[in-house]
Structure 1
């Protein structure tokens, strides 16, 4: 053996896979997602006023305290600065009305962190998106409070009103357009966020901008948000109208409810989605189709939360059926 082929002891490092290293870290990714969501969150406080700030503060504080308590009880390293608990609290706050009583966001956050996250093993092991589990729990426990929506506070008083999807579900499309005045006014309210709803039903513009930033940073793949929103638009255009096939308002459905928030910031959760791009395409189309199914035929006017959770449950099956090709296979 030549001298060049010899290896000196200590020149190799043995470690578990993966062996590819980069400058990214969990904390960097999580805080970047928080940053991307921040403009929409701040805009929701501007829209709904002090109640929105209170609810957001309760969710984030409860998430951090619950995370600390559980890690302390488990005698694990306490890492609150990684941004994961903060993000769960922020996302849950964006999924509920601003004016709910204080104990509702508190209970939802404890369920999200304590049950959905840590009973599965903690960060990186949860099967379902924790914030969506928290929202589903709250919707089942306090359905009236969770479906009582404030309008924006630009008027003298904040009054309760139905969401656009709620009006559409109960009173029909014509009544919805009449509620806003003109169809162009309705689209503008959807796009800018000047309407009633949860805090996550804020400016579609700011949510999309935050999502595009995450795509630019390569923290999420474009396939999931684009295909999920596109599937909702296509199917509601085909089946969502009252005048037969291809008479639905696709633009209305794509901008209303929590679709944009869910598609960019929750359906893209790297822990709960398939590994492969093909798997993520199936995930996105399935989530979009389930959203439409619940919206059009279900009892709830909105279906994004349950659609994503249902697709979370089949992620292991998708990963089992769609596997990446082995390196060198087929040559």
Structure 2
């Protein structure tokens, strides 16, 4: 028999005890715009290095990519979706533009940069419903589209010239991975690979700058270590075995870690919240898969670089990983 509560104060207190709200019960203070800003800040060291070595070209490509991504997202939401709420203020379009430019050579024609931004936003992001619904990293969708459509322009890498004020007329040369793939040319010194004094896309040349960005995001808890460490460790172990088997044919694991888009992909592309697994175990499996596919393409495939393809392939497996690798549920009855 239930006892009736006649005291209004006691009744009000009892009603409060019966209120149940859905999780999460504690707000961490994070937001989309805050996390996007954190990643953009982490990209600043690599961007400054790109401006120093590629000069005017880096500035034109990056500004074009960012403005184009913001413009296309606004136009699609405002006129195609006829949505009253436009999300360009959350920083995701800016980040997509920056990451796209980081995956492009500094002498790429402006119209190709605009086309890549259209594919990244229009196909890679908005065609699936916008931020949070896209299964693939939008910046990589744009980059791979340009690589397949314009392979010559996307593989003509300007040589790094401090404070270079040239754009389309810059002298070009092969990347380190292209030298390894075709067995020609003298590889740059380790110091040059660390600081970024070598050919490549805007954001892949300076290992030190990218690692500074990684440290910043780990300290601010924007990302966890599971994805970047699992990718880098897998590549190091796989290429290390190949190097031990035949050091004359295969490059050392240090070269593989410091060149190409490996650090850029592992730190900034593969860790995308939307397209990566949710559980820690799932992140490690995801990272190992990216590392293996990257090495297979680099060593045995037709392209000298495979990070972009590896991340997109593992993006497709993310829903499957999330379905089978789930965190333990508290209060769940264990079947015997």
Asked if these proteins are the same fold (TM beyond 0.5), I'd say yes
Asked whether the 8 Å contact 2:207–2:258 carries over to 1, the reply is: yes
Partner of 2:259: 256
Partner of 1:90: 98
| 2:123 is the counterpart of 1:115 | yes
Kindly state the Cα deviation for residue 49 of structure 1 after the two structures are TM-superposed.
1.0
> Counterparts of 1:320 and 1:245 in 2: how far apart (Å)?
43
Kindly state the Cα deviation for residue 24 of structure 1 after the two structures are TM-superposed.
1.1
Bigger radius of gyration among the two: 2
Kindly state the Cα deviation for residue 202 of structure 1 after the two structures are TM-superposed.
2.5
| 2:232 is the counterpart of 1:229 | yes
User: Which of the residues 122, 128, 137 maps onto 2:136?
Assistant: 128
Q: Would the alpha carbon gap of residues 327 and 108 (structure 1) be closer, same or farther in structure 2, given more than 3 Å must change? A: same
> Counterparts of 1:247 and 1:208 in 2: how far apart (Å)?
25
Asked whether the 8 Å contact 2:205–2:260 carries over to 1, the reply is: no
Q: Unpaired runs of 5+ in structure 2? A: none
> Counterparts of 1:6 and 1:21 in 2: how far apart (Å)?
26
* TM-score, scaled to structure 2: 0.90
Asked whether the 8 Å contact 1:67–1:114 carries over to 2, the reply is: yes
Kindly state the Cα deviation for residue 79 of structure 1 after the two structures are TM-superposed.
2.8
Moved more, 6-15 or 208-217: 6-15
User: Which of the residues 15, 29, 32 maps onto 1:26?
Assistant: 32
> Counterparts of 1:71 and 1:14 in 2: how far apart (Å)?
36
5 Å matches for 1:133-172? 133-154=141-162, 158-171=170-183
> Counterparts of 1:12 and 1:122 in 2: how far apart (Å)?
38
Q: Secondary structure at the match of 2:308?
A: helix
> Counterparts of 1:213 and 1:9 in 2: how far apart (Å)?
46
5 Å matches for 1:1-331? 1=3, 4=10, 6-7=12-13, 17-73=23-79, 74-76=81-83, 77-154=85-162, 158-171=170-183, 175-177=185-187, 180=188, 186-240=189-243, 243=246, 248-329=251-332
Residue by residue over 1:35-86, the C-alpha shift from the partner in whole angstroms, topping out at 9 and shown as x without a partner, is: 1101211210111010110011110000010011011022320132211000
Residue by residue over 1:5-58, the C-alpha shift from the partner in whole angstroms, topping out at 9 and shown as x without a partner, is: 754778987765433312111001001100110121121011101011001111
Partner of 1:183: none
Kindly state the Cα deviation for residue 324 of structure 1 after the two structures are TM-superposed.
1.4
Aligned residue pair count: 322
* TM-score, scaled to structure 1: 0.91
RMSD: 2.3
Asked whether the 8 Å contact 1:237–1:246 carries over to 2, the reply is: no
Kindly state the Cα deviation for residue 160 of structure 1 after the two structures are TM-superposed.
0.5
Asked whether the 8 Å contact 2:180–2:251 carries over to 1, the reply is: no
Q: Would the alpha carbon gap of residues 91 and 155 (structure 1) be closer, same or farther in structure 2, given more than 3 Å must change? A: closer
Moved more, 109-118 or 150-159: 150-159
Asked whether the 8 Å contact 2:55–2:163 carries over to 1, the reply is: no
Asked whether the 8 Å contact 2:134–2:274 carries over to 1, the reply is: yes
Q: Would the alpha carbon gap of residues 277 and 122 (structure 1) be closer, same or farther in structure 2, given more than 3 Å must change? A: same
